[in-house]
Amino acid sequence: MEYTKQLLYTKFERFWHWSQMLLVMLLTITGFEIHGSIHLFGFERSVRLHTASAWSFIGLALMSIFWMIVTKQYVNFIPTKNKLREQVLYYTSGIFKGMAHPTHKTMFNKLNPLQRLVYAGLLIVIFPVQIFTGLAYMYYHYPQNPLDISGLNIAAVLHTDGAFMVVAFVIIHVYMTTTGDTVSSNVKAMISGFEKEPQNNNETSSISE
């Protein structure tokens, strides 16, 4: 099978991806330290790092939303039923049998239908919940008594549950990066911006709306 090397991830996307990864890691580590689950930076430093990371994450999110609207890359995150069944079958059995991937990537078709559902959930539900509950938690108590959740039990529980969901996503996401043509091909693509795709399947395997 012949492959073609195509640019899939722009400089901003790569900056967005790795910056977001760093911020999510900082938010997760400092968040668990604030809750007393781990001890690394110290409580006060963790609070400051968590707050700074949260504001940076919000700023990055606003930049990415603007970029997606201007470049029309938001179409990559719109859920679709097209090839959804095939994608589920591929991940549950086909991938272990060496079957070909049912969908192929283009600039406006970077995510398969299952990925679109997951990312839509992150962008529409989990991240907004984390942002709003975090701000409520921060401004209702910080800096006087950050761990006193009296009157904000729901916000605190939702924020913690959301954090565990993000951790679960990161674990699955890291595993999925190893399912490309080689173990490191997906990571290399997010560094260079270029990815190899089957030349004769780009058109027929599109899942665009």
Q: What are the residues facing 6 on neighbouring strands?
A: 195
Asked which of 77-81, 134-138, 157-161, 173-177 is least confident by mean pLDDT, the reply is 134-138
Residue 206: pLDDT over 50? no
How far, in Å, CA of 56 to CA of 27, rounded? Answer: 10
Q: How far is CA 131 from CA 36, 64, 128, in A?
A: 21, 15, 5
| Token pair of 78 as six digits | 């719109």
3-state secondary structure of 116: helix
Residue 13: pLDDT over 60? yes
Residue 117: pLDDT over 50? yes
Burial of 42 (0-12, 13-18, 19+ CB in 10 A): exposed
Q: Which domains does the chain have, with CATH numbers?
A: 3-198 (1.20.950.20)
pLDDT band at residue 148 using 50, 70 and 90 as cut-offs: low
pLDDT band at residue 100 using 50, 70 and 90 as cut-offs: confident
Phi-psi region of 98 (alpha: psi -120 to 50; beta: other; left: phi over 0): left
Residue 205: pLDDT over 60? no
Predicted pLDDT at 202: 44
Residue 139: pLDDT over 70? yes
Asked which of 8-17, 178-187, 197-206 is least confident by mean pLDDT, the reply is 197-206
Predicted confidence (pLDDT) per residue in 67-77, tens digit: 999 999 999 99
Beta-carbon contacts of 16 under 8 Å, excluding residues fewer than 6 positions away, are: 60, 63, 64, 67
Using only C-alpha atoms, the chain has a radius of gyration, in whole angstroms, of 19
Alpha helices, H only, the chain: 11-34, 43-71, 84-92, 113-121, 127-141, 153-176, 185-192
How far, in Å, CA of 191 to CA of 149, rounded? Answer: 41
Beta-carbon contacts of 172 under 8 Å, excluding residues fewer than 6 positions away, are: none
